[in-house]
Chains A and B, each alone.
Chain A
Amino acid sequence: MKLKIIGFILAIIILFIVSCESEQTIEFKRYYSAGVEVYQSHCQNCHGANGEGLSSLIPPLTDSVYLKNNKAALACAIKSGLKGAIIIKGKTFDDVMPANELTTMELAQVITYVGNSFGNKLGTVPVDQVDTDLSKCN
């Protein structure tokens, strides 16, 4: 009898853990799959379907170190554009990235998508995080 109760409690705990986990996964998937569409309509022409960029004109998005080190600056860069030289995968890029009119939600979605594609593993970048990041834009 005791064993049954313990087993029942254990089962509930396991269920909790599983459902918690899947809620996070669901959140991630929601951001990620919406991010695919934002990427396709705003980024893909230049950065390519596989984030490959274009020779020395447009940087690839496959430099996981750069994205990781600049994670908090990504929202501002996408929203207001980028000027000046940056070094990506050892190559210097000094052309202009134009500003993109995206909502905070769209920014969170596209950063989550890019941040977890092309060899990057940044995890979910939720909308409140992007909000915080945007408040620090120059």
Chain B
Amino acid sequence: MRKLALGLLVVTLWSACKLNSNDKKVLPIYGNRKPITKTVDGKSVTDTLYQTISKFKTVNQYGDSISNKSLDGNIYVADFFFTTCPSICPIMHRNMLSVYNAFKSTGDFKIISYTIDPKHDSVPVLKKYADKLGLSGNTWWFLQGKKDSIYKLSESYLVRKPEEDAKQQFIHDGSFLLIDKQKRVRGAYDGTDPKQVDQLIADIKELQNEPDQVIAQ
């Protein structure tokens, strides 16, 4: 009887492990969420409304207008930077280059870097910066917008709001944010840590394999 119980336990444990290994890793969805009740075909259905990236209007390094709509249907990675940043930006963009090189030839993928110093970082300055990084094409955009609206926008990316200290030095967050096709934050990574950036690359592949859901407007 004891042996039987033991055998049963082993089988149960084994199948539990087996079950777990079949579970696919799903990336979390960050931000606030609230239930919404809709009426579909006369029945009331409760759904979850997730936090999404707010609308924005910017210009990229080529002088093209880029808005939130320009990213529809794309998985993208975002960060906040400025071209004259002496501290963490070089290391962030050295790491972002690995992301760029891994996905530059895949469609439906973008990298966007918002400048938090739009006064200095004009379109030509951003173009020069992109050229010097060795970039071409439309995979990685450097975006200039109104300073206040970019600072406000950072809130929907769930990062620390950029600020200027007493010496007018810009302080900003070194995070890379992974955004899905529904414009929801699916991951936040320390852009100065190569290991976390490797994880980001793995997570982008994971996200690319996720079945498409309704694209939020």
Binding site for B on A (CB under 8 A): 44-46, 48, 54-58, 95-96, 98
Q: A54-B93, A54-B94, A55-B97 in contact; A45/B88 too (CB < 8 A)? A: yes
Flag if B87 contacts A55 (CB, 8 Å): no
Do A45 and B87 contact each other (CB < 8 Å), given the known contacts A54-B93, A55-B134, A56-B134? yes
A56 touches B132 (CB 8 A): yes
| B207 at interface by CB-CB < 8 Å | no
A96→B84 CA distance, assembly (Å): 9
* Main SS class of interface, A: loop
Hey, which chain A residues are within 8 Å of B87, CB to CB?
Answer: 45
Nearest residue, chain A, Cβ from B135: A55
Chain B interface mostly helix, strand, loop or mixed? Answer: helix
Tell me if A55 and B90 are in contact (CB < 8 A): no
- Chain B residues within 8 Å of A46, by CB: 86, 90-91
B85, chain A: closest CB distance, angstroms: 10
9 contacts between A and B (CB under 8 A): A44-B91, A45-B88, A45-B91, A45-B192, A54-B94, A55-B97, A56-B133, A95-B132, A96-B84
In angstroms, Cα B133 to Cα A44, docked, is 18
Is A98 within 8 A of B133, CB to CB? Answer: no
Q: List residues of chain A with CB within 8 A of the CB of B93.
A: 54
Residues of A contacting B192 in the complex (Cβ-Cβ under 8 angstroms): 45
Tell me which residues across on chain A come within 8 A of B133, comparing CB atoms: 54-57
**In the complex, chain B residues whose CB is within 8 Å of the CB of A56:** 131-134
Interface residues in B91-149 by Cβ distance below 8 A to A read 91, 93-94, 97, 129, 131-134
A contact residues around B90 at 8 Å (CB): 45-46, 54, 57-58
A46–B86 alpha-carbon span in the complex (Å): 8
Distance from A106 Cβ to chain B, minimum over Cβ atoms (Å): 18
How many angstroms from the CA of A45 to the CA of B131 in the assembled complex?
20
CA distance A81 to B84 in the complex (A): 14
Give the distance to chain A from B203, nearest Cβ to Cβ, in Å. 24
Task: Provide the bound-state CA to CA distance between A44 and B87, in Å.
Answer: 10
Nearest CB of B to A137, in Å: 21
B129 x A57 contact (CB < 8 A): yes
Residue of A nearest to B97 (CB): A55
Q: Give B205 Cβ to nearest chain A Cβ, in Å.
A: 25
Contact residues, B164-202 vs A (CB, 8 A):
192
Cβ contact within 8 Å between B132 and A57: yes
How far is the CB of B113 from the nearest CB of chain A, in Å?
A: 13
Q: How far is the CA of A44 from the CA of B131 in the complex (A)?
A: 22
Expressed in whole angstroms, the minimum distance between the Cβ of B194 and any Cβ of chain A is 9
Which residue among A44, A48, A56 has the maximum number of chain B CB atoms within 10 Å of its CB?
A56
In the assembled complex, how far is the CB of residue B117 from the closest CB belonging to chain A, in whole angstroms?
A: 15
| Chain B residues, CB < 8 A from A57 | 90, 129, 132-133
**Separation of A95 and B93 alpha carbons in the complex (Å):** 16
CB atoms of A48 and B134 under 8 A apart: no
Give the residues in chain A near B132, CB-CB below 8 Å.
55-57, 95
User: Which residue on A lies nearest to B91, using beta carbons?
Assistant: A45
What's the minimum C-beta distance from B169 to chain A, rounded to whole angstroms?
11
State the CA gap A58–B129 with chains docked (Å). Answer: 11
CB distance from A14 to the nearest CB of B (A): 48
**Of the candidates A44, A48, A54, A98, which one forms a contact with B86 in the assembled complex, judged by CB atoms under 8 Å apart?**
A98
Q: How far is the CB of A50 from chain B (nearest CB, A)?
A: 11
Assembled-state Cα–Cα distance A55/B97 (Å): 10
